[in-house]
């Protein structure tokens, strides 16, 4: 009986310590998106960092209702381009601002639709579409037709 009592006391103390740590540790504050333009800057910055040239994406505006419009980024990528890597890079860039980036993969094309959400509202859609005409050349420096330039 003595062992059971000591185990109960230790578990109770562990619960108290855990509760104290949960309450006392300050939550990391989110930065918050300053404006819709700031959100667009972060998206374009991620596109640039992921070696997607300006000629491979277009921005459209979709009217949701009389008060809200949403920008849609249509990004053409080579079949070998890692859409998951882009998704991860965008997530890492937007996470400090409290912005979520859920995604949906469309099969059989393997296209990826990313939804940029804040405050339970979708503010931007990024459609990463596979374009078979875009190839990553093995030994050229022509970046106009490739999604990633070669390095020398």
Q: Alpha-carbon torsion 11, 17, 20, 25, what sign?
A: negative
CB 126 within 8 A of CB 116: yes
> What pLDDT was estimated at residue 27?
67
d(CA 98, CA 100) in angstroms, rounded, equals 7
Q: Looking up tokens 């930065």, which residue turns up?
A: 31
- pLDDT tier for residue 49 given thresholds of 50, 70 and 90: very high
CA-based Rg of the chain, rounded to a whole angstrom?
23
Domain boundaries, the chain: 36-130
12 pLDDT tier (thresholds 50, 70, 90): very high
pTM over 0.85: no
pLDDT tens for each residue of 118-130: 888 888 999 999 9
pLDDT reading at 4 higher than 60: yes
Q: What is the 3-state secondary structure (H, E, C) of 96-130?
A: HHCCECCEEEECCCCEEEEEEEECCEEEEEEEEEE
Question: Angle at CA 131, nearest 5°, toward 130 and 132?
Answer: 110
Beta bridge partners of 112: 105, 128
Contact 114, 91 (CB under 8 A): no
Strands (E), 8-120: 57-63, 69-77, 103-106, 111-118
Task: Please state, for a pLDDT cut of 70, what percent of the chain lies above it.
Answer: 84
- The Cα 19–Cα 119 span in angstroms is 28
What band does 28 get if pLDDT is binned at 50, 70 and 90?
low
Say which CATH architecture domain 36-130 belongs to.
Answer: 2-Layer Sandwich (3.30)
How far is residue 55's CA from residue 143's CA, in Å, rounded to a whole number? 10
pLDDT digits (tens, 9 = 90+) for 67-97: 778 899 999 999 989 999 999 999 999 998 8
Distances (CA, A) of 54 to 46, 58, 71: 12, 8, 16
């Amino acid at each position: 009986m003595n062992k059971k009592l000591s185990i109960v006391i230790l578990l109770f103390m562990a619960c108290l310590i855990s509760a104290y740590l949960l309450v006392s540790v300050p939550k990391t504050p989110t930065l918050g998106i300053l404006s819709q333009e700031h959100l667009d800057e972060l998206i374009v910055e991620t596109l640039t960092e992921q070696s997607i040239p300006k000629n491979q994406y277009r921005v459209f505006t979709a009217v949701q209702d009389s008060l809200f419009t949403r920008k849609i980024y249509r990004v053409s990528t080579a079949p070998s381009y890692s859409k998951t890597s882009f998704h991860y890079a965008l997530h890492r860039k937007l996470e400090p601002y409290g912005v979520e980036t859920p995604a949906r993969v469309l099969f059989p094309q393997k296209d990826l639709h990313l939804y940029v959400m804040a405050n339970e509202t979708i503010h931007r859609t990024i459609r990463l579409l596979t374009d078979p005409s875009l190839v990553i050349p093995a030994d050229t420096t022509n970046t106009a037709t490739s999604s990633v330039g070669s390095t020398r």
